[in-house]
Amino acid sequence: MPSSALARSDIDRTFAALADPTRRRVVELLRGEPKRAGDIAAGLGMSAPATSRHLRLLHRTGLVEATYVEEDARLRVFRLRPEPFAELHGWLAEVERFWAGQLDAFKAYTERTRRVRNTTATRRRRG
Q: What is the largest CA-CA distance in the chain?
A: 92
Given a cut of 90, is residue 68 above it in pLDDT? Answer: no
Q: pLDDT band for position 67 (50/70/90)?
A: very high
**pTM above the 0.85 mark?**
no
Given a cut of 70, is residue 7 above it in pLDDT? Answer: no
Q: To the nearest whole number, what is the mean pLDDT of the chain?
A: 87
Given a cut of 70, is residue 56 above it in pLDDT? Answer: yes
Q: Please give the residue that has the higher pLDDT: either 36 or 72.
A: 36
- Give mean pLDDT, residues 107-124: 76
Using alpha carbons only, what angle is made at residue 31 by residues 27 and 35, rounded to the nearest 5 degrees? 80
Percent of the chain having pLDDT more than 90?
Answer: 56
**Strand order across the 72-80 sheet:** 35-36, 72-80, 64-69
Structure confidence at residue 125 (pLDDT): 72
Per-residue pLDDT tens digits for 81-106: 999 999 999 998 988 887 877 787 78
Domain spans, the chain: 3-80, 82-127
Q: Does domain 3-80 have CATH number 1.10.10.10?
A: yes
8 A C-beta contact, residue 27 and residue 63: yes
